[in-house]
Amino acid sequence: LVEKVFSGKIPATFGNLFKLTTLDLSKHNLFGDLPFELSGLPNLQLIALQENMILGDVPEGFSSLSGLRYVNLSSNSLSGHITATFGFLRSLVVLSLSKNHVSRFIPPELGNCSDLQVLELRSNALTGPIPADFPRLPHLSLIDLGNNLEGEIPVLLGSKFNNPSAFAYNQDLCGKRLDRKCVDAGERSRRNKMILLIVVAASGVILLTLCCCFYILSLLRWRKRLKKGAAGEKKRSPTRASLEASGGRGSTDNGGPKLVMFNNKITLAETIEATRQFDEENVLSRTRYGLVFKACYNDGMVLSVRRLPNGSLDKNMFRKEVEFLGKVKHRNLTVLRGYYAGPPDLRLLVYDYMPNGNLATLLQEASHQDVHVLNWPMRHLIALGIARGLSFLHTSNIVHGDVKPQNVLFDAHFESHLSDFGLDPLTIATSAEASTSTSVGTLGYVSPEAVLTGETTKESDVYSYGIVLLELLTGKRPVMFTQDEDIVKWVKKQLQKRTRLA
The secondary structure of 314-362, three-state, reads CHHHHHHHHHHHCCCCCCCECCEEEEEEECCCEEEEEEECCCCCEHHHH
The secondary structure of 118-156, three-state, reads EEECCCCEEECCCCCCHHHCCCCCEEECCCCCEEECCHH
Q: Helix, strand, or coil here: 260?
A: strand
Entry field: residues in the chain: 502
Dist CA 161 CA 424 (whole Å): 60
Asked if 321 and 425 count as a contact pair (C-beta separation under 8 A), the reply is yes
Asked if 121 and 99 count as a contact pair (C-beta separation under 8 A), the reply is no
The conformation of residue 109, written as its DSSP 8-state character, comes to G
Which residues are known to be catalytic? 402
Q: Helix, strand, or coil here: 22?
A: strand
Omega before 35 within 30 of 0, i.e. cis: no
Dist CA 27 CA 5 (whole Å): 9
Diameter of the chain measured on Cα atoms: 106
Q: Which of 351, 370, 247 is nearest to 308 (CA)?
A: 351
Return the amino acid letter for 435.
S
Dist CA 316 CA 345 (whole Å): 13
Return the amino acid letter for 40.
G
The gap from C-alpha 9 to its chain's centroid, in whole angstroms, comes to 24
Q: Helix, strand, or coil here: 56?
A: coil
Dist CA 293 CA 466 (whole Å): 30
Dist CA 116 CA 192 (whole Å): 38
Contacting residues for 230 by C-beta, under 8 A, at least 6 apart: none
Dist CA 73 CA 87 (whole Å): 17
Classify burial at 278, counting beta carbons within 10 Å of its beta carbon; exposed 0-12, middle 13-18, buried 19 or more.
middle
C-alpha count within 13 angstroms, C-beta hemisphere, residue 431: 0
The secondary structure of 181-219, three-state, reads CCCCHHHHHHHHHHHHHHHHHHHHHHHHHHHHHHHHHHH
